[in-house]
Amino acid sequence: MWASQHYAGFREHAFPECFVCGPHRRRGDGMRIFPGMLENGMVAAPWLPADSLDGGDGKVAAEFHWAALDCPGYFAVSGGRRVMLLGEMQAHVDRRVHVGESCTVVGWRIAAEGRKHVAGTAIFDEDGELCARARSTWIELR
């Protein structure tokens, strides 16, 4: 996906070993979701869930869906230029995706007030169907 080529974390990353978006993680050791900015202000990344994320039934375990919804929210509200920490996240998994299924993860800014930023994120399967979604609050560090 074109957007991942513009992933801000490739240039500078506050947590380069992050399990979800850390560029120092090797294939099979982390999720390798690299959300890049789109022209409309959203971020997007392809995600091909590895075998290590299997919940025992050929589908990605629910906790990894939550993880996939995390970091794209950060990049949607910060552009990778400000250090922020996740304050709260509410997520819903509609359908667990299959291991090895080509997915797309997106994020967008919902609101900002001072150091508090709100983002939305979603996971879509290879057919473009919504599988999971979240709303998160990010706090910018001083």
Go through the chain and tell me how many residues it has: 142
| The predicted structure's pLDDT at residue 26 | 83
Question: How much is the average pLDDT of 52-68?
Answer: 96
Q: Which of 74, 71, 128, 121 is nearest to 101 (CA)?
A: 128
Q: Which residue has the higher pLDDT, 139 or 5?
A: 139
- Whether the pLDDT of residue 35 is over 90: the answer is yes
Question: How much is the average pLDDT of 43-69?
Answer: 96
Percent of the chain that is helix, strand, coil (3-state, to 5)? 20, 35, 45
Which H or E run includes 65? helix 62-78
Question: How much is the average pLDDT of 22-42?
Answer: 89
Compute the C-alpha angle 63/64/65, nearest 5°: 90
Tens digit of each residue's pLDDT (9 = 90 or more) over 74-126: 999 997 778 899 999 999 999 999 999 999 999 999 999 999 999 999 999 99
Q: Which residue has the higher pLDDT, 138 or 8?
A: 138
Three-class secondary structure of residue 72 per DSSP: helix
Task: At 17, give phi and psi (nearest 5°).
Answer: -100, 10
| The predicted structure's pLDDT at residue 45 | 96
- Whether the pLDDT of residue 62 is over 90: the answer is yes
| The predicted structure's pLDDT at residue 51 | 93
| The predicted structure's pLDDT at residue 65 | 97
Q: What is the percent of the chain where pLDDT is above 70?
A: 99
Which H or E run includes 69? helix 62-78
- Whether the pLDDT of residue 1 is over 70: the answer is no
Task: Fold for 2-140, please state it.
Answer: Thiol Ester Dehydrase; Chain A (3.10.129)
